[in-house]
Structure 1
Amino acid sequence: MSFAPDKVLAARERRTGRRTNRQSVGDQGLLVNQIATDVLLWPSSLWRVADLEPMRPLPVHRWVRCRGFTVTEQVPAWLVAGPHGDVVEWVITQT
């Protein structure tokens, strides 16, 4: 998987319905976190990755901004809810 600024900007325009500045900002890229429970949006797609192409370090040590990476495995999204996330996912689905 690799970062494509034009695709990100086009998706942002579709989501907001507003045109965006097409100039690329220097700190854009893919964000990769080392800890599943730090993910703020759920449901999410979670993957184990390798071959990170880091751009620059971020102030929060668990996050890496990168240009690309290789997906080695997709893992269940319920992992963001912790060790009993499968039950949490079931309760959310039922409600």
Structure 2
Amino acid sequence: MADEPVRADAGEQRDWANLDTLLDITVNLIPMGILLFFVVLYTVFRPWGLDPRMFVLMHFLTVFPFLLLALLTYVSARAIASAEQGA
């Protein structure tokens, strides 16, 4: 049951997204959640006023690492799945 692939919306299966791989990459969800928390926090509460440069800088320093971590998570999920399959 743990080795069953996750079903895509179109009915096709993705070999890299099985339960074991998803459990291996859940460690990246905590930092991603922390980064999203700060994005929301700095959007709602602006400690440096309404300076647009600071707003862009704050969001760049949180959104850019979030995007890099999401890409790293995807690539590592593909690598973990291919290593498990022996390819």
Q: Structure 2 length normalisation: TM-score? A: 0.26
**Structure with more contact order per residue of length (Cα contacts < 8 Å, sep ≥ 6):** 2
Greater percentage in strand: 1
